[in-house]
């Protein structure tokens, strides 16, 4: 019997190719960082700041979520946004991305890991991550993570993104290190994951792709308190005693 003929379904396309940021987005990212430096007076850029800056740079919606994998949304695509420090972001090759708490107690009703092999514990930890990814992929055709690698003074940054994926536990082996943290390595012996039983923090070690975008920034002068109030037209009429 000949196979039946079916209609071809066009795949849902992402807003842009992986790592191929819109041409003006890097300018908007840099401008957002300069604005923070000028208004805060200190080189402090936190997770929510980066989520908002990136969302504005690509014309997306900023929607902070508890899962942390879909904080930025644009059509069929969503992003989790991460920041990490490096002495020289332009030269960085790998980064450690904290994914959050992967608690065996909460997810599996296990208060400890006694009696379990390292590989079994690692598979359970990875299972929590995979479940989070699946819950987001049920709603979005494309799920990505966008990372800002920043220097201490925010004078140099690098930006890249990668697909947010599920991991096959059979492709990794796990063992305890000297600090009693669980480490996962791939079949080539490359360190890919760390899980800390005290605090349940799960960290993914990600390679930085060749198409990352790096840039340097000039430190802006800080806006004075009086200047800001004057520029926005603040006066006593704004105050109502109640």
DSSP-derived secondary structure for 160-189: EEEE-----GGGEEEEE-TTS-EEEEETT-
Asked if residue 96 belongs to a domain, the reply is yes
Question: What pLDDT was estimated at residue 116?
Answer: 86
CB atoms within 10 A of CB 10: 5
Question: pLDDT grade, residue 12 (50/70/90)?
Answer: confident
Question: Does the residue 163 lie in any domain?
Answer: yes
Q: 241 in a domain, yes or no?
A: no
β-strand partners of 196: 201
With a pLDDT cut of 90, the percent of the chain lying above it is 80
More confident residue, 6 or 139: 139
Contacts of 52 (CB under 8 A, 6+ apart): 32, 62
pLDDT for the residue 65: 86
> Is residue 238 situated within a structural domain?
no
In a domain, 19, yes or no: no
Q: What is the pLDDT of residue 108?
A: 86
Provide mean pLDDT across the span 212-237.
93
CA triple 208-17-78, angle to 5 deg: 80
What is the domain count for the chain?
1
Q: Does the pLDDT of residue 8 top 50, yes or no?
A: no
In a domain, residue 37? The reply is yes
The per-residue pLDDT for 100 is: 84
* Any domain includes 8: no
Determine, yes or no, domain membership for 104: yes
Mean pLDDT of the chain: 92
For the stretch 26-68, pLDDT in tens is 999 999 999 999 999 889 999 999 999 999 999 999 999 888 8
| Tens digits of residue pLDDT in 80-117 | 999 999 999 999 999 999 988 888 888 887 766 667 89
What residues make up the domain containing 218? Answer: 25-229
pLDDT digits (tens, 9 = 90+) for 162-194: 999 999 999 999 999 999 999 999 999 999 999
Q: What is the mean pLDDT of residues 125-129?
A: 96
């Amino acid at each position: 019997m000949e196979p039946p003929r079916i209609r071809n379904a066009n795949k849902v396309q992402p807003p842009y190719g992986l790592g191929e940021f819109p041409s003006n987005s890097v300018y908007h990212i840099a401008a957002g960082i300069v604005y923070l430096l000028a208004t805060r007076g200190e080189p402090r850029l936190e997770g929510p700041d980066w989520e908002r800056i990136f969302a504005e740079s690509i014309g997306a919606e900023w929607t902070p979520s508890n899962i942390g994998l879909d904080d930025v949304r644009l059509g069929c695509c969503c992003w989790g946004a991460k920041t990490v420090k490096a002495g020289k972001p332009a030269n960085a090759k790998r980064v450690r991305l904290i994914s959050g708490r992967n608690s065996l107690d909460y997810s599996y009703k296990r208060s400890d890991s006694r009696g379990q092999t390292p590989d079994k514990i690692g598979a359970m930890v990875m299972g929590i991550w995979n479940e989070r990814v699946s819950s987001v992929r049920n709603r979005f055709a494309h799920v990505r993570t966008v990372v800002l690698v920043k220097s201490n003074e925010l004078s140099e940054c690098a930006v890249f993104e990668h697909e947010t994926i599920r991991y096959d536990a059979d492709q990794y082996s796990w063992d305890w290190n000297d600090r009693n943290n669980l480490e996962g390595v791939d079949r080539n012996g490359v360190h890919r994951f760390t899980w800390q039983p005290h605090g349940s923090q799960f960290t993914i070690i990600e390679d930085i792709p060749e198409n990352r975008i790096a840039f340097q920034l000039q430190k802006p002068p800080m806006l004075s308190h009086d200047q800001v109030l004057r520029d926005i037209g603040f006066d006593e009429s704004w105050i109502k005693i109640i």
